C-alpha cells in the first residue's frame, strides 16, 4: 500500500491531496494540464520537498514532515521514467542499462540484466547509442534502466506523451508486460484515457490540485457525476470481458461480462477465455422502451435506469444497470422527455458492434 498526503503551494496554485494506491498494479494520476500530477510524482520521488505531507510505502515512511523524516531521493528506491528518456547519450544502450544495475542496492533481489533485456525486447539494441534509436525504443531502454535499479516503486511521468500514435501503440504492450512481471506498485501520470484503459487498475482523478475521486478504473468510468470523466467525448463504462467465442463466419467475436454479452467485430488474435477490457462509450449507447425488431444493431441488453445526470445544455447521461454491471448512455434531453425516461424504468440498451473498434486489451 502506498499512502500519499501532500500540501504544497506555488504562486497561484495549491496542491492539497491525500490518496492510497494499492501495493501492486498501476495507479494512474489522471487530470488536465496543470492539476498537479508531476508535482505529486516529484514529492513522492523526493525531488521536491513539500510544505507538509507524508509518503509511506508498506508502512515504510519516506516522508513525514510532522516528525522531520525526509529520506533522500536515492534511498527511497523509486524508479522514475520521464517523458524524455534522459538516457546518457555518450553511452551505449547496454552501458545505460548497466548504470541502472549499478544503482541497485546490495543484497536486494530483483530482475537480472538478461530478464529485463528479454522483457523489454532490447536484445538487438544493446550496442547502439540512444541518439540512433526511435523515441519508443529510447523509452523502452529508460524503463529497463529504471527497473534494473531494483526499485520498490515505479514512477512514470507521461512516459508515452512525447511519442506519436504509432510509437505509443508499440510501447504500450511493453508497459503492460512490465506491470505484470515486475510486481511493483506503479504511479503513472497521464492525461490519455487510452493509456488508463490499457494499463491502470486504479485511478486518482485530479483537478486544480485536489483529488476529485479515487478508486478502481471500472468504478470511476461508470460514474456519471464526475464531469472531468463523464463530459469527455470518449467517456463510457469500462467492461471487464472474457472472450466467449469466435464467430468466424459472421466476422464477430462474442464477449461476456457480468450480466451480459456483447458482439464486436472479429479480433482473430483473441483466444476463447482471454480477458480484455472494453470501453463502451456513452455516446454509442442508445435506449429503447421495447426490444426493437428488424434492426441492424447486434447488442440489445435489458437494463434499468439508475440515475439521470445533466451533461451540458441539451444532453444527459443515463447510468444504466445490466445485472451487476453499470453502463453509461448519452442521450438528448429531448429523448428523456419524449420517452418519459426516469430512474427505476426498465429499458433496453442498444449498441452497434462497430462501436467497439477501440477495445483495449487489459
Ligand atoms: N517550480 C515551480 N514553480 C512555480 N510553479 C510551479 C512549479 N512547478 C509547477 N508549478 C505550477 O504548479 C501547477 C501544477 O503543475 P504540475 O506540473 O504538477 O501539473 P501537471 O498536472 O503535471 O501538468 P501537465 O499535465 O501539464 O504536466 C501548475 O500551475 C504549474 O504552473
pTM of the model: 0.87
CA angle 288–276–196, rounded 5-degree value: 90
What sign does the CA torsion over 268, 26, 77, 72 have?
positive
What sign does the CA torsion over 143, 81, 92, 103 have?
negative
CB 214 within 8 A of CB 203: yes
Strand 202-207 versus strand 25-30 pairing type? parallel
All domains in the chain, ordered by first residue: 2-221 (3.40.50.300), 236-356 (2.40.50.100)
ipTM of the complex: 0.95
- How does pLDDT run across 184-212, given as a tens digit for each residue? 899 999 988 889 988 999 999 999 999 99
229 Cα–ligand 1 center, Å: 21
How does DSSP classify residue 59?
T
64 Cα–ligand 1 center, Å: 22
Q: In the structure grid, which three cell numbers stand for residue 325, read together? A: 454491471
Residues 6+ apart with CB under 8 A from 223: 213, 229, 230, 319
63 Cα–ligand 1 center, Å: 21
- How does pLDDT run across 110-121, given as a tens digit for each residue? 889 999 999 899
Query: Which of 60-69, 157-166, 174-183, 301-310 is the least confident region?
Result: 174-183
Nearest CA to ligand 1 atom 31: 34
**Ligand 1 pocket residue status of 190, Cβ below 6 Å:** no
Nearest CA to ligand 1 atom 16: 36
Residues 6+ apart with CB under 8 A from 314: 332, 333, 334
SS3 110: coil
Amino acid at each position: 500500500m502506498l499512502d500519499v498526503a501532500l500540501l504544497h503551494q506555488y504562486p497561484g496554485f495549491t496542491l492539497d491531496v491525500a490518496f492510497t494506491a494499492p501495493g501492486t498494479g498501476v495507479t494512474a494520476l489522471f487530470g488536465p494540464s496543470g492539476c498537479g500530477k508531476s508535482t505529486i510524482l516529484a514529492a513522492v520521488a523526493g525531488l521536491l520537498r513539500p510544505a507538509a505531507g507524508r509518503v509511506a510505502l508498506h508502512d515504510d515512511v519516506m516522508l513525514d514532515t510532522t516528525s522531520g523524516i525526509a529520506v533522500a531521493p536515492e534511498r527511497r528506491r523509486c524508479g522514475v521514467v520521464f517523458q524524455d528518456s534522459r538516457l546518457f547519450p555518450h553511452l551505449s544502450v547496454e552501458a545505460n542499462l548497466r548504470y541502472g544495475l549499478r544503482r541497485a542496492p546490495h543484497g536486494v533481489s530483483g530482475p537480472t540484466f538478461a530478464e529485463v533485456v528479454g522483457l523489454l525486447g532490447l536484445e538487438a539494441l544493446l550496442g547502439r547509442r540512444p541518439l540512433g534509436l526511435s523515441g519508443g525504443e529510447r523509452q523502452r531502454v529508460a524503463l529497463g534502466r529504471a527497473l534494473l535499479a531494483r526499485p520498490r516503486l515505479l514512477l512514470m511521468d507521461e512516459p508515452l506523451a512525447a511519442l506519436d500514435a504509432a510509437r505509443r501503440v508499440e510501447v504500450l504492450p511493453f508497459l503492460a508486460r512490465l506491470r505484470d512481471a515486475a510486481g511493483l506498485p506503479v504511479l503513472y501520470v497521464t492525461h490519455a484515457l487510452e493509456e488508463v484503459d490499457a494499463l491502470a487498475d486504479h485511478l486518482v482523478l485530479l483537478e486544480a490540485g485536489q483529488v476529485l475521486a479515487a478508486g478502481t478504473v471500472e468504478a470511476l468510468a461508470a460514474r456519471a457525476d464526475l464531469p472531468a470523466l463523464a463530459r469527455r467525448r470518449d467517456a463510457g463504462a469500462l467492461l471487464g470481458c472474457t472472450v466467449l467465442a469466435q464467430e468466424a463466419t459472421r466476422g464477430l467475436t462474442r464477449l461476456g461480462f457480468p450480466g451480459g454479452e456483447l458482439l464486436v467485430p472479429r479480433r482473430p488474435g483473441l483466444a476463447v477465455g482471454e480477458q480484455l477490457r472494453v470501453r463502451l462509450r456513452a455516446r454509442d449507447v442508445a435506449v429503447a422502451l421495447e426490444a426493437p425488431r428488424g434492426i441492424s444493431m447486434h447488442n440489445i441488453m435489458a437494463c434499468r435506469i439508475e440515475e439521470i445526470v445533466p451533461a451540458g445544455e441539451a444532453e444527459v447521461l443515463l447510468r444504466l444497470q445490466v445485472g451487476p454491471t453499470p453502463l453509461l448512455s448519452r442521450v438528448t434531453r429531448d429523448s428523456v422527455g419524449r420517452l418519459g425516461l426516469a430512474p427505476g424504468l426498465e429499458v433496453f440498451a442498444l449498441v452497434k458492434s462497430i462501436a467497439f473498434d477501440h477495445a483495449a486489451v487489459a
